[in-house]
Structure 1
Amino acid sequence: MTTPPSRPGAERTDGSSVRIGALVPLTRPGWVQAGRHVLAGLELGVGDVNDAGGIDGRPLELVVRDTAADPRKAAAAVDELAGLGVAALAGEYHSVVARSAATRADALGLPYLCSSAVLDALTEHETEWVARLSPPQSRGWQTYADFLLDAGHRRIAVATQPSVYWATGTRVLRDHLTPRGGTVVELDMSALGPAAVCDALVDRRATALLLLVGHPEPAVPIVQAVRRDPRLAGTMIGAPAGQPELADWATLLGKDGAAVPFLRYLPERLGPFGARVETALRERLAEAPSFVAFEGYDTAIVLADVLRAAGSHGADRARTAASWPRVAVEGTRGRIEFSRTPGISVWQWAGAPVQVVDRDPADPDRFRVLHTG
């Protein structure tokens, strides 16, 4: 069976289930569609786990909390879920929010498997309590920088907003591009509008503009302005954070949203297991599943493996966290194992696939793989 998301005040208290706290952005200003995809993957994974017997005969149950992209709300949700007795935490898409959740989970001694957030420093110090499926930002954005260099781009402009996530991404790009003859110019979107961005691109002779900004505002009007400016006909627009992956990008921008390269964490081809899950996710979402949905699914099946390995139906949180290095699970996108990665404070899946893809101008519903790393 498929376990529906729990609502506040509706959690089961009879002790018959093993409960997982799920953190997802389901309301604005969070990226709601990303939250829907994470949750759809978690729900499908939980359903499959339960169909296979659950956790030693007990069903797995999600207790869902909306973070709304608010770090303080996420930290409060972690406190609440810990008090409700969840065995572990899962989910979250926004990196700054996941960092808040991870920091609080570490302080409380609550195992947390982060599904989709990439910020390298999820916690300030090394922790045994937190593991992550998505690749760290440094790896993904270095791959993106290599793509830019291979495509002949050396003069890069970044339209950015104040955020540790965007600032870290800019630093990764600059550190990787500068020794190889590239330059990175920052355009502060707290001071510039779309038309001023176009003028700055012309003045700086940039050949590529990267959108390190929120979606849909101001990303969508920036794309529209650049696409309509004849002076910028040869300028590449990129979005390393993955905004074009989800369907609302294509809905809002149409053909203007094609040929915008972004990072995606899928293999070039899914195996039979991944293809089966893709079909089920498509039915659940009524649209093509993003890589975020696969991350949600893999989170559920990995946590089930960890909880089974720890025993005690998740009641012993320390034993659960101690199981991260023993994980060996066939996920939808490859074999998942956790290790210590230099510079990363949490247990990390080092084998996550990384691609640079875009939407095909001839068919914006089709994705083209441009680079792998």
Structure 2
Amino acid sequence: MAKIKPFKAVRPAPDKVALVTCRTYDDYSSAELAAWLNFNPYSFLHVIHPAYANAQKVSLEKRFKAVANKYQDFKHDQILIEEEHPVFYLYEIQSKGQTFTGIIAGTSVKDYQNNVIKKHEDTLQYRVELFKDYLHQTNFNTEPVLITYPDSVAINTFIALRKQSEPIYEYSTTNKEKHILWKIDTQSEIDWLQEHFENIPNLYIADGHHRSASAELLFEQDKHLGNENLNYFMSFLIAESNVKIYEFNRLIRDLNGLSKDNFIKKLSEHFVIVAKDQEIWKPQNKFEFGMYLDGSFYALFYKKENHQQASILDNLDAQILYDKVLFPLLGIEDLRNDERIDYIPGKQSISVIKDLIDEGEFEVGFMLYPSDINEIKALADNNLIMPPKSTYIEPKFRSGLVVYEL
């Protein structure tokens, strides 16, 4: 049974919401970041990147304190306002060809610990501890964990009816997205949602494994303080049919000393290889891979006699590529830290991969077929972990839209 909780959120003043909210900090180039910080005094980037103006290196502790101070400045200046009572939110993101709609709520750390909230990705301990320290110093979080739940006719009907009411925000952003936020604040609606989620046996983390692990670590560190907010972490709950899953394609800087012909010969042991020459080709099904090498595209079909039916993980395309190509042939063991490999989200054009290889920065690129939600759930149900950078999942939440205080 999944437990969700309304919370007393902090959010932008309605007249400033389009100016305050921003993409995730890492999503900006240096030039974009400089422009937003120079010309938009309301951007939440000023909160999460307060040292920019001085362009100086500071310790993490000082940086986190500066974030906390700037956040308080935004509240003092009424750029950010606080809800009077705990609420849920209904949030919709409309982008080109895709609409995402879900519920913003607090989810239980105990559910996370007891595997009611399931995970499919491994975490890096130093990143978990770093974000835990960030939360401890700043006392707020504005990046919810993206969590999926099984499609529910009742919840879908509730959402459809609720969307007919007046939103508290409706605005567009410079990346051509439209954002709409409704407040769910009546006790009857809150009780109804809580009861329906209690009937859901499991939730699944789609994106935000490090954030949820950090929330658990902070809970264990500070639970003696009696702060009820530590028992929960902010999540964006969305029906599993409504998430968009892209692959992460791979770029490799060299062939590990192999000649092109020898490399292709070794690949043919596990794959049927079809030359596509200049035809841009991407996989159409599972067990298919695209490759770009030396100015030509290739289709790689994993030989049927190699399909492993016994193991869900062995059947994962990202794992197949690692087990048969990246590690044994190209000598890449550490997918997170090896500088010879890089990743391109599948939503970007394959021409980006072609251009990077043609320019000489990389020697070979591999295109994968995206996993589906059932594959991700099966891995989570069996306590199996995907290789790093296996999925790029949307929607992506805007920083500064809703803040969960600790």
Q: Normalising by structure 2, report the TM-score.
A: 0.20
Which structure dedicates a bigger proportion of its chain to strand?
A: 2
Larger Rg belongs to: 2
Q: Normalising by structure 1, report the TM-score.
A: 0.21
Which structure dedicates a bigger proportion of its chain to helix?
A: 1
